[in-house]
A and B are shown apart, each in its own frame.
Chain A
């Protein structure tokens, strides 16, 4: 069945770049999403990428999409302590947007 996989933990030093990786199985999606969850809060849409794009840049965020390998990555430049959170990759299955399959989430820890 459809699946989204992410590594569970990432630790980086403040000011370095963070790269969070995701692989997915449903290739019919028009969009792929990155959500951020801060402690005790709901998920917040961070960014998304159209499936016909290879890259999208939004300020400190860069999303790379490799459709051949079904691989999605999120790069955060100049990582700050406020970036500490759980990051979820999400893939809408069956070509629609009503059923999002989420990865297990990558917990990003930023240390001085």
Chain B
């Protein structure tokens, strides 16, 4: 039972490069989210999805795209990386209802130079 799997664990990008952070879950959860974690700021929601084919913006969506073609996968795309996107990125998923909360992946540490 893998839970939420994120790849890669670490990545260094040059300013202007693009890349995709991968997220996959094997729990058949409908709801998935992407957060970024910055020191002293907690986690901030980037994008979320309530099911395949449905996505919406969170607090800090600029510079990021998402798509949800399957229940399992929820990739996050950085269109043109900027130093301000240096952060730790977490993907999370949850079942319907609120009592189980979100299951988080182990994160991707991204550095943009």
Contact = CB atoms under 8 A, between A and B. Distances in A.
Interface of A: 4, 8, 30-31, 33, 35, 40-45, 48, 88, 92, 97-100, 102-105
Contact of A98 (B4, B33, B40, B90): B33
B90 A43 contact: yes
Contacts of B105: 42
B84 to A, nearest CB: 18
A63 to B, nearest CB: 13
B64 interface: no
B74 interface: no
Interface residues of B, number: 29
Nearest to B44: A102
B110 interface: no
Contacts of B45: 99-100
Contact of B42 (A4, A40, A41, A92): A4
5 pairs of A and B residues whose beta carbons are closest in the complex? A42-B104, A102-B42, A45-B101, A102-B43, A97-B98
Nearest to A31: B98
B43 A8 contact: no
Interface in B62-113: 90, 92, 94, 97-107
Contact of A104 (B31, B42, B97): B42
27 contacts: A4-B42, A30-B98, A31-B98, A35-B101, A35-B104, A42-B4, A42-B106, A43-B43, A43-B102, A43-B104, A44-B104, A45-B102, A45-B103, A48-B98, A88-B43, A97-B94, A98-B48, A98-B50, A99-B45, A99-B59, A100-B45, A102-B42, A102-B43, A102-B44, A104-B41, A104-B42, A105-B42
A105 B100 CA distance: 20
